[in-house]
Structure 1
Amino acid sequence: MSKRQDILDAALRLFTENGVRATSTKSIAQEAESSEGLIFKHFVTKDNLLEEIIKKGYQAAAKTTSPYLIGQTPQEYVANMIELPIILTRSNPDFWQMQYKIMPLNPISSRYHENFMRPCFERLTECFESLDYPEPDLEAELLLIHIDGVWKYFAANQLDLEKENALVATMKKKYNL
């Protein structure tokens, strides 16, 4: 593994445990068995380091979720969106725990998340429209609010998979899926 990746991994662990503000570049260097100078050489600032972690996390999320979301019928798409919180939080738990902790106060984190979720609103609206829901745009927004709350709940509480699946199954029943 490269020193650059060691720094990214160490920063993710420390940002998740302590938060971004409470994590110094010195502590990241120690955790990565590197130097602060190397951190600044690769990333210039701690914010750039954080943005690289977030960028990589959302790239991985897009890669993980695209097979579940592309080319699906409206029913399949809605069902897969309901499963999205499990898929995401299980695929990269440290990243989603960090996101849960920092997103409310971090504009970089919020921006990446909004960009990741934006296409889902449009597609959900189309799905609910084709499923003859009376207000497809409001239905899409409501489901996205639910999904946002659920992934945060899963990231914060690390439930067992059986309970996560039961919660998802209950939500699917509400949509007759």
Structure 2
Amino acid sequence: MTSHSKIEQAALQLFGERGYDSTSTLLIAKSAGVSEALLFKYFQSKEKLFEYLIKQGFRRIVEANRGILTEQNPRVLIENVIDLPYKLVHDEPDFWKMQDKEFNRPLVQKYFQRFMSPIDNLLQQAFKDVGADDAEMTTQLLLLIIQSLWRNLLYEHDPHLQKLGDHLKRTYLQRTPAK
């Protein structure tokens, strides 16, 4: 692993555990096993390191989940969106903990909205396609549940959370007739 990668991993973990304000560049460098000078050589400042982590994290997530956005079957799209928090937390737990802890920062909100906006629109269309009574409200309710589920998956180790996705699929797809 390169020094750059070690700094990234250490920063992700520490920002996720402690938050941005409670994490110093010295602590990140020590945790990564590099000098603070090397951290500054790569990233210039803690703020630029944080910005880099947010941008790269969302870039990785969008690339890894691009297939969701191209799904043509509306029922499969709905299932994929319900599965998304499980996949995201499993694949990138440190990134999502950091993102959750720093959600009030405008940069984080900007990238989160960029990520969610197409999902919102596609999900709404999928609910229209399967004949949901109120596709807009159904979408908003499901996304609210998914956001809560995602946050709980980050911190809770309740076995019922794993079963909740299957329950959501049954609930949301039972209401809608298969076309």
Normalising to structure 2: TM-score of the pair?
Answer: 0.89
Give the corresponding residue for 2:44. Answer: 44
Give the corresponding residue for 1:2. Answer: 2
Contact 1:100 1:156 in 2 (8 A): no
Give the corresponding residue for 1:67. Answer: 67
Q: Alignment partner of 1:82: what SS? A: helix
- From the superposition, tell whether residues 158 and 72 of structure 1 become closer, same or farther in structure 2 (CA, over 3 Å): farther
**64-73 or 163-172: bigger deviation:** 64-73
Q: Aligned to 1:170, which of 167, 170, 174?
A: 167
Gaps of 5+ in 2: 175-179
Gaps of 5+ in 1: none
**118-127 or 32-41: bigger deviation:** 32-41
2:144 corresponds to 1:140: no
1:154 Cα deviation (Å)?
0.6
**80-89 or 91-100: bigger deviation:** 91-100
The aligned amino acid for 2:45 is T
1:84 Cα deviation (Å)?
0.8
1:69 Cα deviation (Å)?
4.4
Give the corresponding residue for 1:123. Answer: 122
1:123 Cα deviation (Å)?
0.5
Give the corresponding residue for 2:150. Answer: 151
Q: Alignment partner of 1:86: what SS? A: helix
Q: How does 1:25-40 map to 2 (within 5 A)?
A: 25-40=25-40
* Alpha-carbon distance in structure 1 between the residues aligned to 2:149 and 2:136: 20
1:165 Cα deviation (Å)?
3.0
Contact 2:75 2:173 in 1 (8 A): no
* Alpha-carbon distance in structure 2 between the residues aligned to 1:136 and 1:107: 29
Q: Alignment partner of 1:133: what SS? A: coil
State how many pairs are aligned.
174
The aligned amino acid for 1:167 is L
1:7 Cα deviation (Å)?
0.9
2:84 corresponds to 1:84: yes
The aligned amino acid for 1:34 is V
The aligned amino acid for 2:171 is K
1:50 Cα deviation (Å)?
0.9
1:144 Cα deviation (Å)?
1.4
The aligned amino acid for 2:36 is E
1:102 Cα deviation (Å)?
1.8
Superposition CA RMSD, Å: 1.7
1:140 Cα deviation (Å)?
1.6
* Alpha-carbon distance in structure 2 between the residues aligned to 1:176 and 1:80: 12
- From the superposition, tell whether residues 73 and 151 of structure 1 become closer, same or farther in structure 2 (CA, over 3 Å): same
Q: Alignment partner of 1:175: what SS? A: helix
